[in-house]
Amino acid sequence: MAGYGKLQIGSVTLDNNIILGPMAGVSDLPFRVLCSEMGAGLVCMEMVSAKAIIYKNRNTNMLLEIHPDEHPVSLQLFGSEPEIMQQAVEMIKDRPYDILDVNMGCPVPKVVSNGEGSALMKDPALIERIVSALVQVSDRPVTVKIRKGFTDNSINAVECALAAEAGGAAAVAVHGRTREQFYSGKADWEIIRQVKEAVKIPVIGNGDVVDGPSAKAMFEQTGCDGVMVARAAQGNPFIFREIKSFFEEGKTCERPSRKEVYDTVIRHADMQLKYKGEYIGIREMRKHVSWYTFGMPGSAKFRNEINQMTDMDTLKEACGKIMLPPTVDT
Ligand SMILES: Cc1cc2nc3c(=O)[nH]c(=O)nc-3n(C[C@H](O)[C@H](O)[C@H](O)COP(=O)(O)O)c2cc1C
């Protein structure tokens, strides 16, 4: 019976099978370090273009950076040409990632119109070629992340997962929505169950897991080998500690105190500044602070203030007002 526990992906053993999903603009190095510390069994990097790696695009270097404390970590490539993707892997072979993932789910028009991301699902034979090309050159396990299908009329996650397996993939993550749906509607977990039934490699279920009970329901309804959490981790790296505690102790641990949230935001911001500099780092923090404070009493009033933070002092001041009000216990 599938459920919470260790997970083997090729040569890599995950301590637990609750995984931070890849999120462009969110799952960067600082956020991944926090999620790892909170107990995520694997953290996934933001997608990186294979072509951008080859052309040595400046921003790509930052995307490829990995911290010693965040292992195991999965690096996600997007592209559509097997040879270009092989070259990209060759160029990043000294980077200390643990798993190489291929994006087959991105719905963004700019990506899809290049035949990349979820567009790959229109061509399962190409999926097999890409995976087998990468398996040839990669000394680390190759995995894929797919959706339910491209449109409601072309639901082919099972066929795509089988193609990836035939190419040598070590695992497949399935997001139970079509490309057409982007992120709307409810994720279909039945398709995840069907993929699990069809392939022998580990299947990671993804879509709408938000806490311990929903992770348990995902395991039970789909038989999947691992659960991937993406949006519910935004502003909430604590979710991994909570899901772990739900499975290991039979109850969800307390929500973090506001003081802990404050301290986490400051550490998050410190790392952003260290890796991205103050100008970009603080601007990146604006959305994170909005997420961290979502639902806190008075946070709406401070939204404007959050969007005007320009340095560490203004960030501390805004966050202190929301998270450390004198009358609230910390
Ligand atoms: C802001 C954002 C960025 C994302 N970026 C990526 C990405 O780079 N690669 C990828 O495979 N999926 C990406 N996704 C999809 C998520 O990994 C996940 O499949 C999706 O959000 C459904 O899971 P959830 O219901 O837990 O959020 C992104 C999602 C969001 C919201």
Name the pairing type of β-strands 7-9 and 171-178: unpaired
Name the pairing type of β-strands 99-104 and 73-78: parallel
Answer yes or no: is pLDDT of 318 > 50: yes
SS (H, E, C) the chain: CCCCCCEEECCEEECCCEEECCCCCCCCHHHHHHHHHCCCCEEECCCEEHHHHHCCCHHHHHHCCCCHHHCCEEEEEECCCHHHHHHHHHHCCCCCCCEEEEEECCCCHHHHCCCCHHHHHHCHHHHHHHHHHHHHHCCCCEEEEEEEECCCCCCCHHHHHHHHHHHCCCEEEEEEEECCCCCCCCCCHHHHHHHHHHCCCCEEEECCCCCHHHHHHHHHHHCCCEEEECHHHCCCCCHHHHHHHHHHHCCCCCCCCHHHHHHHHHHHHHHHHHHHHHHHHHHHHHHHHHHHHCCCCCCHHHHHHHCCCCCHHHHHHHHHHHHCCCCCCC
Between the CA of 141 and the centroid of ligand 1 the distance, in Å, is 21
Name the pairing type of β-strands 12-14 and 99-104: unpaired
d(CA 198, CA 161): 8
The active-site residue, picked from 35, 44, 106, 224, is: 106
Return the minimum-mean-pLDDT range out of 212-216, 271-275, 295-299.
295-299
Read off the amino acid at residue 112: V
Return the minimum-mean-pLDDT range out of 54-63, 221-230, 246-255, 318-327.
318-327
For the record, the structure tokens of 291 come out as: 């997420």
For 27-71, how does the pLDDT look when each residue is reduced to its tens digit (9 = 90+)?
999 999 999 999 999 999 999 999 999 999 888 999 999 999 999
d(CA 102, CA 75): 8
Give me the pLDDT at residue 253, please: 87
29-37 and 258-293 helices, crossing angle to 10°: 140
Give me the pLDDT at residue 1, please: 47
Give me the pLDDT at residue 327, please: 57
Give me the pLDDT at residue 49, please: 98
Percent of the chain with pLDDT over 90: 91
Tell me what the mean pLDDT of segment 100-107 comes to. 98
d(CA 303, CA 38): 27
Between the CA of 24 and the centroid of ligand 1 the distance, in Å, is 7
Answer yes or no: is pLDDT of 157 > 70: yes
Return the minimum-mean-pLDDT range out of 72-76, 132-136, 221-225, 253-257.
253-257
Select from 20, 23, 236 the residue to mutate for testing ligand 1; criterion: most ligand atoms less than 8 Å from CB: 23
Answer yes or no: is pLDDT of 108 > 90: yes
Residue nearest to atom 23 of ligand 1 (CA): 207
Q: Which residues line ligand 1 (CB under 6 A)?
A: 21-26, 46-47, 76, 103, 105-106, 145, 175, 183, 206-209, 229-232
Between the CA of 313 and the centroid of ligand 1 the distance, in Å, is 32
Q: Is 253 a catalytic residue?
A: no
Percent of the chain with pLDDT over 70: 98
Give me the pLDDT at residue 302, please: 85
297 pLDDT band, cuts 50/70/90, is confident
For 283-295, how does the pLDDT look when each residue is reduced to its tens digit (9 = 90+)?
999 999 999 999 8
User: Is the Cβ–Cβ distance between 233 and 253 less than 8 Å?
Assistant: no
For 164-206, how does the pLDDT look when each residue is reduced to its tens digit (9 = 90+)?
999 999 999 999 999 999 999 999 999 999 999 999 999 999 9
Average pLDDT, the chain: 96
Return the minimum-mean-pLDDT range out of 215-224, 238-247, 290-299.
290-299
Answer yes or no: is pLDDT of 303 > 90: no
Between the CA of 263 and the centroid of ligand 1 the distance, in Å, is 26
